Amino acid sequence: MSGEIDQRKEDKSKPQLHEAKVPRRGCGSRFMSWVRENGFLVLLVLATASGYILGFLLKPQNFSSQTITLIGFPGQLVIRSFLMIIVPLLFCNLVLGVSSLRKGGDAKMVAITIAFFLGLSTFSAIMGATAGHVVHPGQKITSSKIQPQSSMSGRKGVILDSMLDLLWNGVPSNIIEATFVKEYTHVEIVNTSSSGTLNGSVIYKKSLQQKKG
């Protein structure tokens, strides 16, 4: 009994610690903390939404082919940079996967994986060919919708295309193919008629082609 009384006295003599009350944060502070934690996701969503909005707003504008090329060039470089890392990434994954396999134990898994990739590639190729045959992209674009360019603007366009080709080849879509193939903008004169709606202007048709070297 004396021991229990002494223990109670010691417990009473100890200072009582109270838990500090954490103030509740408002919706605004919680939202800002969530934005800071998921900053990359927020920026990605904002960039995608901004692209859609700008696309709808600029669609009625009748831009020239050079302006359209300059607007889409940064996005094409980003896509090419993503495509550029596919071949090294696949090669490294295959090397690491094969080196980690055991003899006979994972043979069935390897066969299933190879069959899956071959089947998926074949399906994608068939779907792409079928969609191109049914939809016919670019069929409604005729020469009447192409803005005529004078010979002087055509020469300036060739200089601009040369500068863009330099950046274009600096970010190849296939890093192995870039060692022996170079892409360039081919300019072809479509029409030089002096009558009709062209008013003697020259119509240029540009296409991206490849050459060895």
What pLDDT, in 10s, does the model give residues 87-100? 888 888 777 776 77
55 neighbors 68 (Cβ within 8 angstroms): no
pLDDT at residue number 43: 92
Q: Are the CB atoms for 54 and 72 separated by under 8 Å?
A: no
- What percent of the chain is modeled with pLDDT above 90? 3
Highest mean pLDDT, choosing among 77-81, 146-150, 172-176, 207-211: 77-81
3-state SS, residue 131: helix
Residue 25 has pLDDT above 70, yes or no: no
Residue 32 has pLDDT above 60, yes or no: yes
Q: Is 168 exposed, middle or buried (0-12, 13-18, 19+ CB in 10 A)?
A: buried
Q: Are 206 and 161 in contact (CB under 8 A)?
A: yes
Rounded Cα distance between 201 and 197, Å, is 9
pLDDT tens, 10-19? 555 555 555 5
- Decide if pLDDT at 149 tops 70: no
Query: Between 204 and 197, whose confidence is greater?
Result: 204
Sign of CA dihedral 79, 83, 89, 94: positive
Question: pLDDT tens digits, residue range 36-81?
Answer: 888 889 999 998 899 889 888 888 888 777 788 888 888 888 888 8
Give the pLDDT band of residue 106 (cuts 50, 70, 90).
low
Give the up-direction half-sphere exposure of residue 201: CA atoms within 13 A in the CB hemisphere. Answer: 16
Tell me which of 109-113, 146-150, 179-183, 202-206 is least confident.
146-150
What distance in Å separates the CA atoms of residue 55 and residue 204, rounded to the nearest whole number? Answer: 25
Using the predicted structure, report yes or no on whether residue 164 has a pLDDT greater than 90.
no
- Give pLDDT, residue 152: 45
Q: Which ranges in the chain belong to alpha helices (H)?
A: 2-13, 27-37, 39-58, 65-84, 86-99, 107-135, 151-170
pLDDT at 84 over 60: yes
Asked if 205 and 148 touch (Cβ cutoff 8 Å), the reply is no
Angle, helices 86-99/65-84, rounded to nearest 10 degrees: 10
Rounded to two decimals, the pTM is 0.54
The SS3 assignment for 171 reads coil
pLDDT value of residue 159: 78
As a whole number, the mean pLDDT across the chain is 73
Strand partners, 182: 211
State what percent of residues in the chain have pLDDT above 70: 64
